[in-house]
Each structure stands twice: as structure tokens, then as C-alpha cells.
Chain A
Amino acid sequence: GAVVSQHPSWVICKSGTSVKIECRSLDFQATTMFWYRQFPKQSLMLMATSNEGSKATYEQGVEKDKFLINHASLTLSTLTVTSAHPEDSSFYICSADRGGNTIYFGEGSWLTVV
């Protein structure tokens, strides 16, 4: 079964609103989680590294004020897309580090902004 859970699996929101995506490690604690974005038929692009109890580290070109990341506990990281626009529509995937380079991915969350 899945060891990393994402919720929701898909979400539709209106342009200008904010939407939150959750990423949970189910049977292990993860001090580090990662958020990726994937456009259709393209590779995964790392957006940010989420660190429990501290600020996330964003990749170059990713707006930290638009993509808010909170890693409040060892099993939960959230990604909030603020003031979403149609160009933010994408497949968002999280992963969690179980230790020893064993990284598990969530099932992904489809975001459609209309």
C-alpha cells in the first residue's frame, strides 16, 4: 500500500482563490519532504524542499509567496497555491525521505484552475 498519501487527488478551483494540498507520510516520520510539479508528458520539476520545523527551500524560479509550504509535523507537509491562475494548473507530487535515500512519492494531486 501507499506509504505517502496526498489529498486531494484532484481539485478544481476558481481563478484568484487559494488551494491547499496535503502530503502525509503514513508509517514513518519524514523530516524532509519534496514538492514537484509535472506538466503533461513532461518530467518532474522540483519546486521546493520542505523541512520540518523550518522554512522551505525553494528552487530557482519558484515564487515562495505564491507556493506556500508548511511542514508543521514529521508526517505532514502542505502546499498552498495562493491566488491561483489557470497557468498554475498542473499535477503536483510530493515525496518523503524515509532515510537512507529511500524516497517515496505520493499519488499526486491534479489542480485545475478555471
Chain B
Amino acid sequence: QQQVKQSPQSLIVQKGGISIINCAYENTAFDYFPWYQQFPGKGPALLIAIRPDVSEKKEGRFTISFNKSAKQFSLHIMDSQPGDSATYFCAASKSNTDKLIFGTGTRLQVFP
């Protein structure tokens, strides 16, 4: 059972464009939703995270939008750059356990 569903599987964006990755979750007990960026051969790095008490969080070019009623959240990368090319994972957890459940990942390629 896939508790966190992520789409698309891959995404190609031109430099300067907006990259949008979507995730949906099933467990209403989840209350922490981070996004991780992973480069080939490296461990994931925390990009940005949100909790259900807010609908949007922005850090630089990265924005999370959160829809509690729909149990969906998305990552928007503004002004996408070639250096953003990586695999992005959404995740969810219950804060009291901290066990992260990951989405399936989205491979983003940004072309100049």
C-alpha cells in the first residue's frame, strides 16, 4: 500500500520555468510534510517542510502548497535552474514517531 503517492515520475522544464510536483497522502494522522532533494549517489537533503496548520510556505524559489481537505501537497520551484536537476521526494510523518514515509520520487531535468 502506497501511503504517499507522488507525480509525475519525471519532469522536464526549461530554464526559468516553473516545476510543479504533486503528492497525495492517505493517513490523516500525518502532520509533517517535508520535501527532499537528492542528487545521484548522495543522500537526500531537506529542502522545505510544512505542517497542516498553514496552507503555503515559501523559502526562496521553493514553495509548498498544502490542501488539508484534499490530502494533497505540492512543491513549486520558481525560475527553475539546471542546478535544480535532481530527484525530488515528498514525505510524510506523524510528528510523534518521526518515521518518514516517502513518495516514489520525481526526476526533474532543467534544460538551459
Measured CB to CB, the residues of A under 8 A from B are: 4, 6, 32, 34, 41-46, 49, 91, 93, 95, 97, 101-108, 110
Interchain CB contact under 8 A, A93 and B44: yes
**B53: CB under 8 A from chain A?**
no
Q: Give the interface of B toward A (CB within 8 A).
A: 32, 34, 36, 41-46, 49, 89, 93, 95, 98-105, 107
Would you call A108 and B46 a contact (CB within 8 A)? no
Asked if B105 and A101 make an inter-chain contact with CB atoms under 8 angstroms apart, the answer reads: no
Tally of contacts, chain A with chain B, CB under 8 A: 54
| Chain A nearest Cβ from B12, distance in angstroms | 16
Residues in chain A near residue B99, CB distance under 8 A: 34, 46, 49
CA distance A101 to B95 in the complex (A): 6
Q: A43-B89, A103-B46 are in contact. List 17 more A-B contacts (CB 8 A).
A: A4-B43, A34-B99, A42-B104, A42-B105, A45-B102, A46-B99, A46-B101, A49-B99, A101-B32, A101-B98, A102-B46, A103-B98, A103-B100, A105-B45, A105-B46, A106-B43, A110-B41
7 nearest A-B pairs in the assembled complex, by CB-CB distance: A105-B43, A108-B43, A107-B43, A43-B102, A44-B102, A101-B32, A105-B44
The closest CB in chain B to the CB of A97 belongs to: B98
A108 & B41 in contact (Cβ 8 Å cutoff) = yes
